[in-house]
C-alpha cells in the first residue's frame, strides 16, 4: 500500500510528467541566467542552483508537481552581500577573487539550517493563517512582476549598450511571442495529449532556425549579459569555503541577517506557491516537509556552488497546466536542465527568447485572478484595501514584504472589528445580585471597552460576571478581569465569575491561583455544557 502511494506521488502520468518537465526545463534556463545576472554572479551558478533546488524539492519536497529553482526575490537580497564580499576580497593582503560568491555559499549553509529548523518546528502550518485577500493580492502582484520581468527581454545589444528593440526587430519579436501564445491557447482545444507550451516552443524555434530569422536567442541573451555560454560541467564540491571563514571578520552580522532574510523570503514564497498549487490541483501538500526539503537543497547549493533558491510560481503553473502532477515532472525538469548544461548547450542556445516570453505571458494570464475585478466592490472595504495593497507592495518591494504586510493589515482589521463587538447585558437577580452577561471575546483590543461596561461604585454588594457568550483569550484579558475584580473587592463587594470554559479557567488560574475563590463551577445552565463540549472537541 505504501509502495503504491509512493509510486503514485512520484508519477501520476509518466508521459505528461516527462513532457511537462521538459517544457519547464526550457523555461528555467533564461530565468536562472537572468537572476544570476541580477545577483552579479556567473550564469552557471544560477543554473546549478536551479538544478539542485529542483531535484531535491522534486524528490523530497512537500508538494508533488511544484517547481523550485533560482528566483529573483532571493537574487535581489544577495546583491549587497556579494558586492561587500568582493570589496573585502580585493582589499585583503592576499586578494581573493570572487570572495562575494564564496560568502554567498557560506550564507546558504545558514539559510538551509534555518529553513530545516522551521520545518522541524512545524512552522509551515502558519501558511493557513494567510487570508484569502492576501492570497489574491499575492497572485495578482506576482503576475504583474512576471510580466514586467519579461519586458527586459525585449532589449537588444546596440554597440555594447542594452536598448529596447525598435522597428523590424520589435515587430518580429512581437509576432513570434503572439504566435507562441496563439499555439498555447488553441492547441488544448484540439488535443490535450501533448503539452501546448512545449509544442509552441518547438514550432517557434523551428521557424526561427530553419527560416534563419535574426532574433534574440538564449545564447545571445547569455552573451549580452556578460556570460560565456551555457556549456559547463558537473557542480563541484566547494571545499575552499571552509578555509575562507576568516575573511568574514566583522561582517558576521551581515552574513547572518542576510541568511535570515533569504530563509524567510524563500519559505514565504514557497509556502504561498504551495498553497496556490494546492488550490489548482484540489490536493494538499505539506508545508513542513517543504521547509525541510528546501533547507536541504540550499545547504547542497552552498556545498556545491549553486546560488540557492525557492519555489517558482511561474514554472510551477506551467508544469501543472502541462499535466505535470507527480514528482517525476520536477525531477525531469531538473535533470534536463543539467543535461542542457552538459550536452545540449549548442541546441538550447538557439531557442528564441520570444518563444519563452510567449510562454511566460500565458502564465501571467493564467496566474492573474481576474475574478478580483468582479468581486472588488462586493467584498468588505478592508479586504479590498488589503488585496490592492498586497498587489502593489509585491510590485514595489517583494513578495515576502507584501505577504507580511497583508497579514498584519488583515490581523489589525480583525482585531479592531472584534474589539468593538464586546457587549455587557445587565440584569438584577431576585436576591439582588447584579449580573453582567458578557458577549464577545475579551482580548488586548477589547479591554478598554470591557472596562467601560462596569459601574463599580454604584453596583450592589454582589456582582456576577457571566461568560456564557464570551471568552478570555490572552494576558491582556486576564489582567483586565483581575483589575475589575480587585476594584470590587477593594469596595467590599463580592464578585463571582460564571460560565468560564475550561481553557479560560486554566488561563486565569495559571496567572493567579486566587481566581479559584471567585470562579463558580457548579453551573446548572445546559448551554454551558454544550459550549464546553464544542470547545473541547475543536481543541
Say if residue 466 is in the same domain as residue 531.
yes
Q: Domain end: 386, 411, 445, which one?
A: 386
What residues have CB less than 8 Å from 534, skipping those under 6 apart? none
Among 343, 368, 386, identify where a domain stops: 386
Q: Does residue 505 lie in a domain region?
A: yes
Q: Judge if 46 and 126 occupy the same domain.
A: yes
* pTM of the predicted model over 0.85: no
pLDDT surpassing 50 at residue 526: no
For residue 9, the model assigns a pLDDT of 59
Do residues 352 and 448 share a domain?
no
Give the domain range for residue 465. 420-538
Read off the CATH number of the domain in which 516 is found: 3.30.750.24
In the predicted structure, residue 263 carries a pLDDT above the cut 70: yes
Is residue 413 one of the residues assigned to a domain? no
pLDDT at residue 12 in the model: 67
Mind listing the pLDDT tens digit for each residue in 214-260? 888 888 877 776 667 777 889 999 999 999 988 898 899 999 999 99
Task: Give me the phi and psi of 437, to 5 degrees please.
Answer: -90, 105
| Number of independent structural domains in the chain | 2
The proportion of the chain whose per-residue pLDDT surpasses 70, expressed as a percent, equals 93
User: Is 7 part of a structural domain of the chain?
Assistant: no
Which of 370, 386, 402 corresponds to the end of one domain?
386
Is 440 a member of any domain? Answer: yes
SS3 421: coil
Report if residue 409 sits inside a domain: no
According to the model, what pLDDT value does residue 300 have? 97
Q: Is there a single domain that holds both residue 155 and residue 42?
A: yes
Whether residues 331 and 466 fall in one domain: no
Together in a domain, 345 and 425? no
Q: What is the mean pLDDT of residues 369-386?
A: 86
pLDDT score of 537 more than 50: no
Residues 397-423: tens digit of each pLDDT: 777 788 888 889 988 888 888 777 888
**CA–CA dist 255, 450 (Å, integer):** 47
| 66-78 tens-digit pLDDT | 999 988 778 878 8
Please indicate whether residue 194 or residue 362 has the higher confidence score (pLDDT). 362
In a domain, 11, yes or no: no
255 and 108 in one domain? yes
Based on the domain organization, do 352 and 426 belong to the same domain? Answer: no
Residue 493 lies inside a defined structural domain of this protein: yes
Is residue 247 domain-resident?
Answer: yes
Same domain? For 236 and 373 the reply is yes
- Given phi > 0 = left and psi -120 to 50 = alpha, else beta, which region is 191? beta
CB 384 within 8 A of CB 137: no
Q: Which is higher by pLDDT, 151 or 49?
A: 49
Q: Percent of the chain scored above 90 by pLDDT? A: 29
Average of pLDDT values for 23-27? 87
Considering the domain architecture, whether residues 425 and 325 belong to the same structural domain is answered as no
From residue 480, alpha-carbon distances to 70, 443, 445, 514 in Å are: 50, 9, 11, 15
Average pLDDT over residues 437-453: 89
Which region among 39-43, 231-235, 478-482 has the lowest average model confidence (pLDDT)?
39-43
Provide the sign of the torsion angle of the four alpha carbons 108, 113, 114, 118, taken in this order: positive
C-alpha span between 136 and 367 (Å, rounded): 10
Cell 472588488 belongs to 376
Shared domain for 178 and 310, answered yes or no, is yes
Q: Please give the grid coordinates belonging to residue 79.
A: 546583491
Is 469 found in the same domain as 534? yes
Distance CA 460, CA 434 (A): 7
Amino acid at each position: 500500500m505504501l509502495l503504491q502511494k509512493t509510486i503514485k506521488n512520484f508519477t501520476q502520468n509518466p508521459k505528461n510528467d516527462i513532457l511537462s518537465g521538459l517544457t519547464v526545463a526550457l523555461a528555467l534556463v533564461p530565468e536562472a541566467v537572468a537572476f544570476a545576472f541580477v545577483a552579479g554572479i556567473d550564469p552557471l551558478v544560477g543554473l546549478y542552483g536551479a538544478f539542485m533546488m529542483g531535484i531535491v524539492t522534486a524528490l523530497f519536497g512537500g508538494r508533488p508537481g511544484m517547481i523550485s529553482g533560482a528566483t529573483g526575490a532571493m537574487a535581489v537580497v544577495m546583491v549587497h552581500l556579494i558586492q561587500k564580499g568582493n570589496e573585502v576580497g580585493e582589499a585583503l593582503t592576499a586578494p581573493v577573487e570572487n570572495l562575494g560568491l564564496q560568502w554567498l555559499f557560506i550564507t546558504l549553509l545558514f539559510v538551509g539550517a534555518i529553513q530545516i529548523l522551521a520545518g522541524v518546528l512545524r512552522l509551515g502550518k502558519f501558511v493557513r493563517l494567510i487570508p484569502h485577500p492576501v492570497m489574491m493580492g499575492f497572485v495578482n502582484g506576482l503576475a504583474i512582476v512576471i510580466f514586467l520581468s519579461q519586458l527586459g527581454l525585449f532589449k537588444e545589444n546596440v554597440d555594447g549598450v542594452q536598448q529596447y528593440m525598435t522597428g523590424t526587430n520589435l515587430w518580429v519579436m512581437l509576432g513570434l511571442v503572439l504566435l507562441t501564445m496563439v499555439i498555447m491557447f488553441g492547441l488544448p482545444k484540439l488535443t490535450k495529449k501533448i503539452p501546448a507550451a512545449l509544442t509552441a516552443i518547438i514550432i517557434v524555434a523551428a521557424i526561427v532556425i530553419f527560416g534563419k530569422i535574426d532574433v534574440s536567442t538564449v545564447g545571445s541573451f547569455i552573451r549580452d549579459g556578460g556570460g560565456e555560454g551555457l556549456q559547463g560541467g558537473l557542480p563541484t564540491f566547494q571545499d575552499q569555503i571552509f578555509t575562507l571563514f576568516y575573511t568574514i571578520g566583522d561582517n558576521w552580522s551581515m552574513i547572518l541577517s542576510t541568511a535570515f532574510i533569504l530563509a524567510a523570503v524563500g519559505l514565504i514564497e514557497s509556502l504561498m506557491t504551495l498553497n496556490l498549487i494546492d488550490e489548482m490541483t484540489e490536493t494538499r501538500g505539506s508545508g513542513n516537509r517543504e521547509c525541510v526539503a528546501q533547507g536541504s537543497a540550499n545547504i547542497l547549493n552552498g556545498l556545491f556552488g549553486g546560488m540557492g533558491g525557492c519555489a517558482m510560481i511561474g514554472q510551477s503553473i506551467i508544469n501543472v497546466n502541462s499535466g505535470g502532477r507527480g514528482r517525476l515532472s520536477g525531477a525531469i525538469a531538473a535533470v534536463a536542465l543539467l543535461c542542457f548544461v552538459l550536452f545540449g548547450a549548442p541546441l538550447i542556445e538557439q531557442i528564441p527568447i520570444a518563444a519563452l516570453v510567449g510562454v511566460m505571458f500565458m502564465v501571467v494570464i493564467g496566474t492573474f485572478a481576474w475574478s478580483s475585478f468582479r468581486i472588488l466592490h462586493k467584498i468588505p472595504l478592508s479586504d479590498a484595501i488589503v488585496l490592492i495593497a498586497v498587489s502593489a507592495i509585491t510590485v514595489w518591494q517583494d513578495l515576502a514584504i507584501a505577504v507580511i504586510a497583508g497579514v498584519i493589515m488583515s490581523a489589525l482589521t480583525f482585531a479592531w472589528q472584534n474589539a468593538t463587538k464586546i457587549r455587557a447585558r445587565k440584569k438584577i437577580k431576585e436576591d439582588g445580585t447584579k449580573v453582567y452577561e458578557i458577549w464577545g471575546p475579551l482580548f488586548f483590543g477589547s479591554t478598554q471597552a470591557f472596562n467601560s461596561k462596569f459601574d463599580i461604585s454604584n453596583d450592589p454588594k454582589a456582582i456576577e460576571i457571566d461568560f456564557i457568550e464570551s471568552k478570555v483569550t490572552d494576558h491582556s484579558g486576564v489582567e483586565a478581569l483581575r483589575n475589575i475584580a480587585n476594584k470590587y473587592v477593594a469596595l467590599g463587594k463580592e464578585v463571582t465569575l460564571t460560565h468560564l470554559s475550561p481553557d479560560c479557567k486554566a488561563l486565569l488560574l495559571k496567572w493567579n491561583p486566587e481566581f479559584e475563590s471567585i470562579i463558580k463551577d457548579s453551573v446548572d445552565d445546559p448551554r454551558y455544557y454544550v459550549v464546553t463540549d464544542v470547545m473541547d472537541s475543536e481543541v
